[in-house]
Amino acid sequence: MKTGMAIVLALFLAELLKLPSPVFAAISAIFAIQPSIYRSYLTIIEQIQGNVIGAIIAIVFVLLFGNHFLIVGLAAVVLITIHLKLRIDKTIPLSLVTLIVIMETRNNEFITFSIIRFSTIMLGIFSAFFINLILYPPKYETKLYTSISDITNGILQWVRLNNHQATDFILLKKQVDRFKEQLVQTDQMYLLYKEERTLSKKHSQEKLRKLVIYRQMITASKKALDLLKEMAKVDSQLGSMPPSFHERIRAISEQLIASHELLVLRYIGKAVQTHETEMNNYEEIRHSLLKLYREYQQLNQTDEADCIMLQLVASFMDYKDQLVHLEILLNSFRSYHREDQPRIKDESI
C-alpha cells in the first residue's frame, strides 16, 4: 500500500513540476520505501549520499571521457567501489540508476539536464519518505507477539506429537526447517519493533523492558526447538530405553511446555501463575532430571548411550533455564508496570 502511494505521489509531483521522464521518480520511490519511520530516516540519508556520489561520478566521466558504453561500465565499477568503501552498499542499485540515466543523456545542455534528472530521482526519494511519515506506522508489537505465540505453539505441539510417537523423523525434520525459517522472520519483526520510537520517557522505559521479554521469548522458543530435535534423536538412538524412562521424560517435557504456554499467555493477562509456585516447580524439574540421568547411568552399560542421554538432559536443563529466566522477567515487569497491560490484540488465540 505504502509503495503504491509513494509511486502515485512521485509521479504526480513530477507531472506537476513538468519534469521530463517522471518514471525515474517512481523508480526511486520504490527503492526508498521502508517498513518503519526510523528505517526511512536512515534510508533517505544514505540515498542522498549515494545519489550525489552517483551524479558527480556520472558528470565527471561524461565531461572527461564521454558516454561510450565502456565508459559507463567503468563509471559503474568506480561507483560501486566507493559505495562499498563508505559502507552504503544498500544504495548501490538506485545510485547506478542515477549514474546511467545521467550518462545516457544526449543533450547540448548536459549539466542542466543532468541536474533535472538527478532532481527527479531525489523527488521520488522524498516522496517515499513523506509517505512513511504521514501513514500511521504498523503496530509491530502486535505482529511480533503474534509471531512468537504462533511459532511457540507450533513447536510445542510437535513436542507433544513426538511424546506420543505420532510423527516420523523425515516429516519432523522438514517441520524443523520450517520453524527455523519462521524464527528468522520473527527476529526480523523484533528488529522492526525495536526501531519504533516512543515519545515519552515512561513509555521508553516500558518498551526497553518489553524488548528484553520479547528477546527472551524468542530464545525460549529456540531452545524448545532444540529440545524437539534432541528428543527425536534420542527416540531413534535409544530405542531400548525402559518404558519407565520414556514416561518420565514425557512427563517432564509436558510440564515444561505447559509452563511455556502459560508464560506466553500470562504476558497479555490471559493466564495466572504464582511466581513462587512456578520457581518451585522448576526446581523440582531440575532434581527430576538429575535423578533420571543418575539412574540411567547405573542402568546403562555403554558410553555412547550415556553420552546421548547426557545431551538430552542438557537440552532439558537449557530449556528449563530459559523458562526460569522468562518467569523472572515477567514477574519483574509486572512489579514495575502493574497497571500497564500490554495492548496486544492476540490473533493467535
Sign of CA dihedral 87, 92, 94, 100: positive
pLDDT recorded at residue 349: 39
User: How does residue 346 score in pLDDT terms, banded at 50, 70 and 90?
Assistant: very low
pLDDT given at position 3: 86
Distances (CA, A) of 224 to 101, 166, 196, 249, 258: 52, 18, 28, 14, 12
Q: Which amino acid is at 40?
A: S
Q: pLDDT at residue 61 above 70?
A: yes
Of 51, 28, 55, 52, nearest in space to 127 by CA: 28
Q: What distance in Å separates the CA atoms of residue 74 and residue 100, rounded to the nearest whole number?
A: 11
Overall average pLDDT of the 166-178 stretch: 86
- Terminus-to-terminus CA distance in the chain, angstroms? 27
Q: How far is CA 68 from CA 21, 63, 72, 103, 133, in A?
A: 22, 12, 6, 9, 41
- The values of phi and psi at residue 313, to 5°, are -60, -40
Element (H, E) at 82: helix 69-86
What is the distance, to the nearest Å, from the Cα of residue 213 to the centroid of all Cα atoms in its chain? Answer: 15
Average confidence (pLDDT) over 12-32: 88
Contacts of 241 (CB under 8 A, 6+ apart): 234, 296
To the nearest whole percent, how much of the chain has pLDDT over 90? 46
Torsion sign across C-alpha atoms 234, 235, 237, 241: positive
Question: Which CATH number does the domain 140-336 belong to among 3.40.50.261, 3.60.150.10, 1.20.58.220, 3.40.50.2300?
Answer: 1.20.58.220
Length in residues, the chain: 349
Quickly state the pLDDT bin for 175 (edges 50, 70, 90).
very high
- What span, in angstroms and rounded, lies between the C-alpha atoms of 214 and 87? 30
For the segment 260-289, the average pLDDT, to the nearest whole number, is: 91
Q: How far apart are CA 26 and CA 41, in angstroms?
A: 19
**Residue 147 and residue 141: Cα distance in Å, rounded?**
10
Q: What angle do CA 260, 266, 270 make, to 5 degrees?
A: 120
**Which residues, 6+ apart, have CB-to-CB distance to 131 below 8 Å?**
2, 5, 6, 9, 33
Distance (Å, whole) CA 190 – CA 327 = 20
Backbone CA torsion sign across 182, 184, 187, 192: negative
What grid cell was written down for 106? 544526449
Q: Quick check: pTM over 0.85? A: no
Q: Give pLDDT tens digits for 86-107.
A: 988 888 998 999 999 888 877 6
pLDDT at 34: 79
Q: Going by C-beta distance under 8 Å and a sequence separation of 6 or more, which residues neighbour residue 306?
A: 296, 297, 300
CATH 1.20.58.220 in the chain: give the residue spans: 140-336
What contacts 54, CB < 8 A, 6 or more positions away? 79, 95, 96, 98, 99, 102
Distance CA 210, CA 329 (A): 9
Check residue 280 and give its pLDDT: 94
Residues in CB range of 278: below 8 A, 6 or more apart: 259, 327
C-alpha cell at 297: 547411568
Question: Residue 36: pLDDT band by 50, 70, 90 thresholds?
Answer: confident
Q: Are 323 and 282 in contact (CB under 8 A)?
A: yes
